[in-house]
Amino acid sequence: MEIEKKIKAGDVRAASRLIRNIEDNIPEAKATIKHIFHSTGNAQVVGITGSPGAGKSTIVDGLIEASRKRDKTVGVLAVDPTSPFTGGATLGDRIRMQRHAEDPGVFIRSLATRGSLGGLSKAVGDAIHIMDAMGKDVILVETVGTGQQEVEIINHAHTVIVVLVPGMGDEIQALKAGIMEIADIFVINKADREGAGKLQRELMIMLDMSS
Ligand SMILES: Nc1nc2c(ncn2[C@@H]2O[C@H](COP(=O)(O)OP(=O)(O)O)[C@@H](O)[C@H]2O)c(=O)[nH]1
Ligand SMILES: [Mg+2]
C-alpha cells in the first residue's frame, strides 16, 4: 500500500490525513494501522496530564526543545476531551509550540472528542502508532482530563507525568481519584506561587502512604 510507504518515509501530509481519518472512524484508516503496526515500537511515549492551565503545554514545549537538542525527532499529540470545537488544542497551545512548527523534526497534531471517551482513547493509540511508524523518537501526549481520561493514558505511555499546581485545592483530591497510581513523575508546576511547599509536603505524605 502506497500510504504505508509514505508514513514510514515520514510524509507529513499522508500522516495527517491518516490521523484525521482515524478520528473520523473511517474503516480503511483502521486497516492501514494494521499494516503499519510492524513498523512501530521504537518510540519513547511520554504522557503529560493535569488540570486545564496547569502548564502542560509549557512543559511539552520544553521537552520538545530538550529532545531536539539531543537530535531526537518528536511527535506531539494534544488531546482535549473537554473541547470538541477547538480541534483538540487551544489557540494558546498552538502559540506556545508554534516556534517548533517550522522544524521538520517536530510533528504536532491534535485530537478532539468525537463520540465516546473509549473511542478517543483508541484514536490516541492509533495516532501514537502513526507517529511511531513515521520514525519519531519521542512522542509527547498532552491530555486534559479528570479521572478517567488521565487514567487511560497509561495504556499508551511508557512514562506518565502528572502536573500539579499549588493553590488549586482540588489537586490532592484528584490524587485520591486514582492518578497517584499512574504517575511516574510528579511535577509541581508554578512553584513560584504560594503553596508549592505545602503541596510538596502533602504529596510526599501521600507517596509514603501508598508505598
Ligand atoms: N506563574 C507561572 N505560570 C506558568 C508556569 N508554567 C506555565 N505558566 C502559564 O500558565 C498558563 C497555562 O499554561 P499551559 O502550558 O497552556 O497549560 P495547559 O493548559 O496545562 O497546557 C500560561 O499562561 C503559561 O504561561 C509557571 O511555572 N509559573
Ligand atoms: Mg495545553
- Ligand 1 in reach of 3 Cβ (< 6 A): no
Instruction: Pick the residue whose CA is nearest to atom 13 on ligand 1.
Output: 55
Q: Convert the pLDDT of each residue in 77-126 to its tens digit.
A: 988 655 544 444 555 555 566 778 789 999 999 887 666 666 677 889 99
The count of structural domains within the chain is 1
161-196: per-residue pLDDT in tens? 999 899 876 666 666 666 777 889 999 999 999 999
Ligand 1 pocket, mutate which of 51, 58, 79, 146 (most atoms under 8 A from CB): 58
CA of 108, nearest ligand number: 2
Output the pTM of the full model.
0.90
Q: From atom 1 of ligand 1, which residue's Cα is the shortest distance away?
A: 190
Contact in structure between 139 and 75 (CB atoms under 8 Å): yes
Which residue's CA lies nearest to atom 9 of ligand 1?
55
Report residue 175 as a C-alpha cell.
490524587
Residue 36 φ then ψ, to 5°:
-90, -5
Ligand number with the minimum distance to the CA of 166? 1
What grid cell was written down for 180?
Answer: 497517584
How many residues does this entry show for the chain? 211
Q: Which three cell numbers stand for residue 83?
A: 473541547
Structural domain span for residue 140: 2-210
pLDDT at 141 over 70: yes
Give me ligand 1 centre to Cα 9, in Å.
Answer: 35
- Give 48's strand partners: 142, 161
Question: Which CATH number does the domain housing residue 42 bear?
Answer: 3.40.50.300
Please say whether the beta carbons of 8 and 36 come within 8 A.
Answer: yes
